[in-house]
Amino acid sequence: MSRSNILFLMTDQHRVDTLGAYGNGADTTPVLDELARTGTRFDRWYTPTAICTPARASLLTGQAPFRHKVLANHERNVGYREDLPTDAFTFSEALKEDGYNCGLVGKWHVGTERTAPDFGFDGPDLPGWHNPVEHPDYLAYLDEHGLPPYEISDHVRGTLPNGGPGNLLAARLHQPVEATFEHYLATRTIEMLERYAADAREGTPFFLQLNFFGPHLPYILPDEYFDLVDPETVELPRSVAETFQGKPPVQRNYSAHWTFDTMPIEVTRKLIAVYRGYVALIDTEIGRVMDALARLGLVDDTAVFFTCDHGEFTGAHRLHDKGPAMYEDIYRTPGLLRLPGQQPGVERGEFVSLLDCTATILDIAGLDPKLAVDSRSLLPLTRTGEVEWEDDIVCEFHGHHFPYPQRMLREDRYKLVVNPDSVNELYDLHVDPDELLNVHDHPEMREVRDRMMRRLYEVLRERGDNFYHWMTSMYDVGEVAYDPTLSGLDESTYRRARG
């Protein structure tokens, strides 16, 4: 696999159940389904944290969020670090130093002061959390091709608890597909791919990353995709029946923030339909890039990844977007990888992470995957057969809009979520795959709960994630490593007072 080219395709806020390869029967993702058919599909692929900037910083560095400490999006930052330190390891700089061309087209969102070029990437600097439709390069693209400007109507939004208008969730775009930001991103990627292909023929490999800003809300689409899916055919998620009984109160608050109950259920169906249309648009644009890869004769020399930073609620649990609720909807995501010459149609059930892409990229490039300290190379899993692998995964969250620390342990049947400010959560995913019933305090679950709490504690302590300190004193997981009474200090204080 030494010095293969790498094409990394990434979306934002992408539900796993929108892909045919993961069971969706609507046939709206033929390109990604073909990638799954010819490569490896990972069925338990998780994000390290379900929020954009920390997840993307983890991909870049191969470090878990608690370690790199870029823990929140700039737009809603609650006091955390906003940029990686200048001495942080990044795979892009390692590849660049090893002679790779490195390009990135699309969403960056890893920091504010240091942008993609600061980490060795070629490509336009496209800041922000959603399509920057006022960006000069996009406007130049529209002008060059005689395409109309951005204009929207049919806004979909609810009503906030304060009586004001809620966040924009979707809108109709009055532009042809060729003018969409998604088409623009694919075009710029193809142009860069053509430049890199010439160097690749002379022995210089490339890493090229295409980051779509969607299908993150608001879902803004032209007619062809806004109306692609009939809302009448949309099956609502079963967790729309969420009552929040026995759940952390923050979830009910977030539901109010995202205005779910202020909109008719028909609007929820339309939002889900438009979201799936957005996924279909992105699949079409990825198809253009894959066609270019074939036209340039690069298929047999290029590893191709597809994944996203995290998932999306789209009405599940009466929520939208993401937030302090560690449900499968936003933590389990699609993950596909095709290597040159690999056996097609490999399906793996091990717990893997977006974090593991970092070590895998290094491994494909012939570099040491251990440079990515919290990451594991996925290359052994791209073949059939038994592979020694951990049978659980830990995820974390630190806040969005306000600080809110959480840790999660997910294993085959059960999921444990520790919420220091509130009730903890335990779900039996075999019986309750929609995570509606919190069984954490059910007496018959004590053995499972205690076992998983100790396992989570051990993993966090081994990693150096100081969240474990709270667990030490609050749960039956281990002994504190210091004298919590500070008895020695007390005695000396008393002696001084008496003297």
Phi, psi of 150 (to 5 degrees): -65, 130
Across the strands, what pairs with 425?
Answer: 417
Vertex 303, ends 26 and 23: CA angle to 5°? 20
Closest CA to 276 of 242, 238, 317, 234: 234
- Only one residue has tokens 């008393």, namely 494
Record the tokens describing residue 64, joined without a space. Answer: 């878990």
Q: Specify the pLDDT at position 75.
A: 84
Q: Specify the pLDDT at position 479.
A: 77
Tally the C-alpha atoms within 13 A of residue 357's C-alpha that lie toward its C-beta: 36
Radius of gyration of the chain (CA): 23
Phi, psi of 12 (to 5 degrees): -125, 125
Stated pTM of the model: 0.95
Q: Specify the pLDDT at position 1.
A: 44
4: CB partners within 8 A, 6+ apart: 205, 301, 302, 303, 339, 340, 364, 365
- Only one residue has tokens 């899993």, namely 381
Q: Specify the pLDDT at position 488.
A: 62
Across the strands, what pairs with 153?
Answer: 172
Over residues 275-285, the pLDDT tens digits come to 999 999 999 99
Identify whether the C-beta of residue 23 lies closer than 8 Å to the C-beta of residue 334: no
Q: Which residues of the chain have pLDDT under 50?
A: 1, 499
Closest CA to 57 of 332, 293, 372, 289: 372
Record the tokens describing residue 319, joined without a space. Answer: 């929520």
